[in-house]
Structure 1
Amino acid sequence: MYQLNFGENKILMYVSAVSFPNDILNAHQELHSLVTEKKGRDYFGISFPDSSGKIQYKAAVTQNYDGEAAALGLKTYLLKKGVYNYITVPNYKDDIVAIEKAFKILLLNPKIDPNGACVEWYFNDNDVKCMVRNK
């Protein structure tokens, strides 16, 4: 497990998955179809339990300019600055279950933000950083 410091908040625009985990791929595909300019963007997956305990999942991407989400008819999510514990999953497409395993390990840490989310940062085409923010 490693640590990463996001020095500033990131405003993400997103598409919600209809169901978790079955609709994750569809949410990402819909996001990619709506956001056609790929250059200079970071892609994320955000998951957290709602008030009933049901997991909500959002396929998300950074905005290239203020108001881009509204122009595309998308909602925004604030990815908070701070220190995140993370585990990198290499070649995640070959072992999707490794993402779940990484989060199970990360969620054992008693120092995580109880109001935070599980964050997948797709920092390249093959690998993902599974991240959880500390308090």
Structure 2
Amino acid sequence: MENYNLDHDIPVMYVTASSFPEGISEAHVQLHSRVLFSGERHFFGISRPEGGLHNIVYKAAAEQLNENEAQEYGLESMVIPKGMYRSNYISDYAKDPQQIGQAFEQLLDNLSVLDPNGYCIEMYIGKNDVRCMIRLNAKNGELKM
């Protein structure tokens, strides 16, 4: 586990999964049928409880390369905020996709240091790696640890 500084906001467009975790794969398929892979953009998985701890909402997302792109693709949009994140980097996650869930279990072990309005974010790097991360609380520019 390490801290990771996301030095800029990332506007994304997304498809919301019909359920969690069962609908994750289909949400990514829907997203990629509209937004093709490109070396210019990152892809994400974004999730958090909404409407209760056991009601996880998952969004398959792609970085917007221009501000009108979400509208052009007919997708909803949001911004992944810059800041310091607690993170785990997983190489070749496809060999054992369960590593992603395990990484988030580790990252969630100390809720007091995490942004209570933050998301669990999977930032896909290339076709094989993923950085799992959750934004840390910040107070006057300093991290609460």
The TM tier, using the shorter chain, reads: over 0.9
Gap regions ≥5 residues in structure 1: none
87 and 33 in structure 1: CA distance in 2 versus 1, 3 angstrom threshold: same
CA distance in 1 between partners of 2:36 and 2:98 (Å): 28
Aligned to 1:20: 20
The offset of 1:28, in angstroms, is 0.7
After the TM superposition, list the runs of 4 or more consecutive aligned residues in structure 1 that deviate by more than 6 angstroms: none
Gap regions ≥5 residues in structure 2: 138-145
The offset of 1:47, in angstroms, is 0.5
Q: CA deviation digits over 1:79-126, x for unaligned, max 9?
A: 011001110112111111111110000011331111101000001111
Amino-acid identity (%): 41
Q: CA deviation digits over 1:49-87, x for unaligned, max 9?
A: 002330000000101111100111000021011001110
Q: RMSD of the TM alignment (CA)?
A: 1.1
How many pairs align? 135
- 1:1-135 map, 5 Å: 1-36=1-36, 38-53=38-53, 54-109=55-110, 110-135=112-137
TM-score, structure 1 length as denominator?
0.95
> Secondary structure, in 3 states, of the residue corresponding to 1:98?
helix
Deviates more, 1:31-40 or 1:68-77: 31-40
CA distance in 2 between partners of 1:9 and 1:64 (Å): 12
> Secondary structure, in 3 states, of the residue corresponding to 2:113?
coil
